[in-house]
Amino acid sequence: MTDTKTEYYQDIHNLPLNKFIDCIVDGNLSALTISGFPSPEQLSQAWDFILSQYSELVGTQEYRMYKILYCEVSILKITLDQIRILAAKGNNQGEKVGILRMIENDFFASELNKLLNMNCKFNWADQKNYHEELDKCVRRSKALFIQYELKTAQFKAIEKKNQAKPGAKMDRQYFVSILVTLSDAPYTKYPITDNIKMSEYCERIKRYSDYCETVKKQT
């Protein structure tokens, strides 16, 4: 009987993200095994090196993602608040009637169009159509609200990791949120899954951060 050759992941270049997650979340270093029976010492040494590679390549990039998501969530929240102030119908739960529901104001009307990337005419003389356009703006804002909720969920998962005490374990939701964020990038052509190699995962985080920085400078 031929002995099975012992093979195990020793760096991030071929290591799948899901194996990395098993190690860092569950402490299951046997996930590094490819074949055979590597010793605990071999696995521990390989894991230490993998962690050092990960920290070197991703450490600051993850924090950049954290700050980027914080800005995105904050901007979406401010935008939604502004739309509500301008166009809300008001309700019994204490929401006030929007300014444009009560007065004609070209500046506020222009701002509302900019916030929602719309081109409503807001003709005060035609009250029926005027309020229908405001209703359309409120409906359009619901898409922004969904985006806000998704970004907030992603941010909170990453925030939990960034605010954790030194030595605290990472959880799987953190990586889910990172993968969703990477998949949502405008240039991504397919969903990013946890089968991705760690080296590519690290590179994608870097590219996402660089992309967001470029967009911020352009806008």
> Domain extents for the chain?
7-218
133 has a pLDDT exceeding 60: yes
Q: Please tell me which residue, 128 or 61, carries the higher pLDDT value.
A: 128
pLDDT band of 19, cuts 50, 70, 90: very high
3-state secondary structure of 7: strand
What's the token pair of residue 192? 């990013």
Contact between 84 and 115 (Cβ < 8 Å): no
pLDDT band of 92, cuts 50, 70, 90: low
Q: What is the pLDDT of residue 43?
A: 93
pLDDT band of 1, cuts 50, 70, 90: very low
Closest C-alpha among 180, 158, 182, 181 to residue 171? 158
Question: Which tens digits make up the pLDDT trace of 146-184?
Answer: 888 878 877 777 776 666 555 556 788 888 888 988 888
Sorted by sequence, the CB contacts under 8 Å of residue 152 that are 6+ apart come out as 73
Sorted by sequence, the CB contacts under 8 Å of residue 81 that are 6+ apart come out as none
pTM exceeding 0.85:
no
Region 118-133: mean pLDDT is 94
CA 168 – CA 140 distance, rounded (Å): 41
CA 32 – CA 16 distance, rounded (Å): 9
